[in-house]
Amino acid sequence: MININISDSATKLNSLNRRMFILATAKIIILGGIVSRLFFLQVKENKKYLTLSDKNRIREWKLPPIRGEFQDYFGNTIAGNFEAYQLHIIPEEVEDFRYVIYRVKELLELSEKQFKKIVKKKNEIKPWETLIVADNLSWEKFSKINNHLYDLNGVKPVISISRDYPYKENFTHVLGYVSQANENDLLTNENIKEKFVPGLKVGKTGLEKSFEQKLIGSNSVERYEVNAYGRRISQLAFQKGDKGETIKLTIDTKIQELTNELLKEKAGSICVMDIYTGAIIAMHSSPSFDPNSFVFGISQDEWQLIRNNPMKPLVNKSLSGNYSPGSTIKPIVALSALENEIIKPDFTVQCKGHKNPLELYGQTYHCWKKEGHGFVNLREAMKQSCDTYFYEVARRLGVDRLSVTAKKFGLGQKVFKDVFDNEKKGLVPNTEWKKNALGRNWVLGETIITGIGQGFIQTTPIQLCLMTAQIANGGYKIYPKIVANDDNQYADKFTPLYKKSRNIKIVQDAMFSSTNEVRGTSYRSRLDDPNYRFAGKTGTSQVKKITELDRELDLKTFQIPYEERDHALYVAFGPYKSPRYALSIIIEHGGSGGTVAAPLAKKLFKMIIDRHEIRKNYDNKKYLNI
């Protein structure tokens, strides 16, 4: 056993030691490799991995931004935020979810349907995510929950910020409303996409939509340390977001409320405008609806009620209602004829009434008055709104020259440009338009009825208001605005729209006679106090062609089916001695402009002119404060 060959063992040992030496060298090299790898990762690339590690562990939670407010001209909040009482549950913090949810159901008197919806939502979210059980609780229910909190582990009564429209239906069509952001909102607006959090409410129509960028504000951000499963471990930082901009409008709430009251139970629109600044004092479309019901999602029944209302509450008639202007176009027809020197103010036409209508090429054209107006000049024709006179003027003028003047005064184009996405352009026809659009030649008869605002011509109430304002201010171009600090810097602002300012005067005077002189169409709606005196023009636009039978029956408005009744229109400006405000009133299917629309103007001007001083003083005070 001890007989091991010495030399053999020596060879073995030599080989062993030699190989150990080789391997030891290799080991040192490999060790160097590992150390250099460590150096590479930990020292050279440290920054990169540190960032990655932070990205791993830090997660940000965006909170819904606080939406900017809307104020009226006097700083009253017309769309603000209120504290909504909500009920949140974080499922994983609840020991016995079934018990708690049934208890909550009992306390809040939830219906089976609502309850199922909540349970479904709970199954969709992660256990540590917030489940919103109720988003707008009444104070009674909220306090009831608070009183039972001892019994409801894990239930959190939360006060959150939400949209509030204190004037309810008064501003609906101007402001629009907010509601939950949907997929479409995210696709069309990058800003919403960027700031989106579940439950974010965004503007759906009106100014709420147009000024979304300014109103939305920025998210508050909560930075949390999270673990690999996304559970929050600790809060690292809270970065407060900015509230959205407050937008001040030119609207006077008092007048806006009056317009709402005047239009109650009626379908129509009232627009009031400052004739120098273009500031909208009031703009209302009736019927309206309460925008608050959209904030937390409108119920199906309520929605159907609004949607199916024949008076179309969802349509903003001031901007997207296309109406034939009827006789309210006459000032423009007259002005155009004077400007083009087709007629002189003393140009006279004999009106024989609709018993002996004007006949041209086999067509008959009736004046509204049975007995006729006799011999009328321009002023008389405007005062009594004689159709025959304007048929003749239009015939001589021609539609192309008329359309030039009409367009100059703001018809046939959007008044607010891009501010409202639902604004319509209306239509001012001319021969070229008809050829392009309909492929047929213009016929003279169309010119003639255009002269009394029927036929192809379509205007929106706000266009009529602007038209009146530009006549009232002496024929200068203005740009309407609804946002107070919008200093519309257009180069052609206040450029004259007339050739001879005398022509404007003539038209103004004719409008004055229409309201303030006997036999004027709106004489009964006049205000006698010279401080309140206003000038206007009535209009009654036909919805349906009047047949011979209708003429013979001579039905009263209430005897005609609603859908076929005439639209009543009225445009006016005042106070006459130094004009400041213009308005347009449209009552859909209201009957005659003189009897239905003009009386509203009387009440409006009283208040508008009364409030002018307050408005002016508020302006001055504002400057003093600086």
Partner 1 sequence: MYQYRRFNNKNGFFQKFGNLDYILLSCLLILGFISLATMYSTDGGEVLFHTRSHFIKFVIFFSMMIVISFINIKFWFSLGYLSYAIILGMLIWTINFGITASGSKRWIDLYFLNIQPSELMKIFIILCLAKYFHRMKAQHVNSFYSISFSLIIIFVPMSLVIIQPDLGTSLLIAISGIVVLWFAGLNHKYFFYSCLLSIISLPIIISFLKPYQKLRVLTFLNPDRDPLGAGYQIIQSKIAVGSGGFTGKGFLKGTQSYLEFLPEKHTDFIFTLFSEEFGFIGSVLLLLIYSIIIYRVIRIGALSRSYFAKLFCYSFGTSIFIYIVINMSMVLGLLPIVGSPLPIMSYGGSSMLATMIGFGIVMSAKTHSQQSIA
Which residues make up the interface to partner 1 (CB under 8 A)?
1-2, 4-5, 8-9, 11-13, 15-17, 19-20, 23-24, 27, 30-31, 33-35, 37-39, 41-43, 45-46, 48-50, 52-53, 56-57, 225-229, 233
Judged by CB, which is closer to partner 1: 2, or 518? 2
The 3-state DSSP class for residue 524 equals helix
Under 8 Å between Cβ of 259 and 317? no
Tell me how far, at minimum, the Cβ of 237 lies from partner 1, in Å: 16
Judged by CB, which is closer to partner 1: 47, or 556? 47
Burial 108-135 (b: 16+ CB within 10 A, else e): bebeeeebeebeeebeeeeeeebbbbbb
Tell me how far, at minimum, the Cβ of 220 lies from partner 1, in Å: 24
User: How far from chain centre, in Å, is Cα 432?
Assistant: 33
CA dist 139 and 9 (Å) reads 98
Tell me how far, at minimum, the Cβ of 35 lies from partner 1, in Å: 6
Tell me how far, at minimum, the Cβ of 37 lies from partner 1, in Å: 5
Q: Are strands 70-71 and 247-248 parallel, antiparallel or unpaired?
A: parallel
Largest Cα–Cα distance in the chain? 156
Judged by CB, which is closer to partner 1: 46, or 363? 46
Tokens of 95: 């020991």
Neighbours of 394 (CB within 10 A): 27
CA dist 233 and 222 (Å) reads 12
Exposed / middle / buried, residue 402 (Cβ in 10 Å: 0-12, 13-18, 19+): buried
Tell me how far, at minimum, the Cβ of 62 lies from partner 1, in Å: 21
Exposed / middle / buried, residue 425 (Cβ in 10 Å: 0-12, 13-18, 19+): middle
Judged by CB, which is closer to partner 1: 232, or 344? 232
Judged by CB, which is closer to partner 1: 85, or 224? 224
Exposed / middle / buried, residue 26 (Cβ in 10 Å: 0-12, 13-18, 19+): exposed
CA dist 444 and 446 (Å) reads 5
Judged by CB, which is closer to partner 1: 11, or 413? 11
CA dist 386 and 392 (Å) reads 11
Q: In this structure, what are the phi and psi dihedrals at residue 445, rounded to the nearest 5 degrees?
A: -55, -35
Tell me how far, at minimum, the Cβ of 317 lies from partner 1, in Å: 55
Judged by CB, which is closer to partner 1: 231, or 519? 231
CA dist 223 and 239 (Å) reads 8
Judged by CB, which is closer to partner 1: 42, or 143? 42
Q: In this structure, what are the phi and psi dihedrals at residue 549, rounded to the nearest 5 degrees?
A: -60, -45
Side chain identity at 84, as an amino acid letter?
A: A
Tell me how far, at minimum, the Cβ of 56 lies from partner 1, in Å: 5
Tell me how far, at minimum, the Cβ of 238 lies from partner 1, in Å: 20
Side chain identity at 132, as an amino acid letter?
A: I
CA dist 474 and 497 (Å) reads 9
Tell me how far, at minimum, the Cβ of 196 lies from partner 1, in Å: 24
Tell me how far, at minimum, the Cβ of 17 lies from partner 1, in Å: 7
Judged by CB, which is closer to partner 1: 132, or 226? 226
For the chain, count helices (H), then strands (E). 24, 19
Judged by CB, which is closer to partner 1: 55, or 440? 55
Tokens of 7: 């030399």
Judged by CB, which is closer to partner 1: 37, or 502? 37
CA dist 449 and 452 (Å) reads 5
Tell me how far, at minimum, the Cβ of 48 lies from partner 1, in Å: 7
Tell me how far, at minimum, the Cβ of 38 lies from partner 1, in Å: 5
Tell me how far, at minimum, the Cβ of 7 lies from partner 1, in Å: 9
Judged by CB, which is closer to partner 1: 236, or 438? 236
Peptide bond into 575 cis (omega under 30): yes
Tell me how far, at minimum, the Cβ of 198 lies from partner 1, in Å: 24
Beta bridge partners of 476: 496
CA dist 373 and 185 (Å) reads 57
Side chain identity at 275, as an amino acid letter?
A: I
Helices 461-472 and 501-516 pack at an angle, to 10 degrees, of 110
Nearest Cα residue to 132 out of 80, 179, 82, 85: 85
CA dist 440 and 452 (Å) reads 22
Judged by CB, which is closer to partner 1: 56, or 147? 56
CA dist 12 and 245 (Å) reads 90
Judged by CB, which is closer to partner 1: 197, or 236? 236
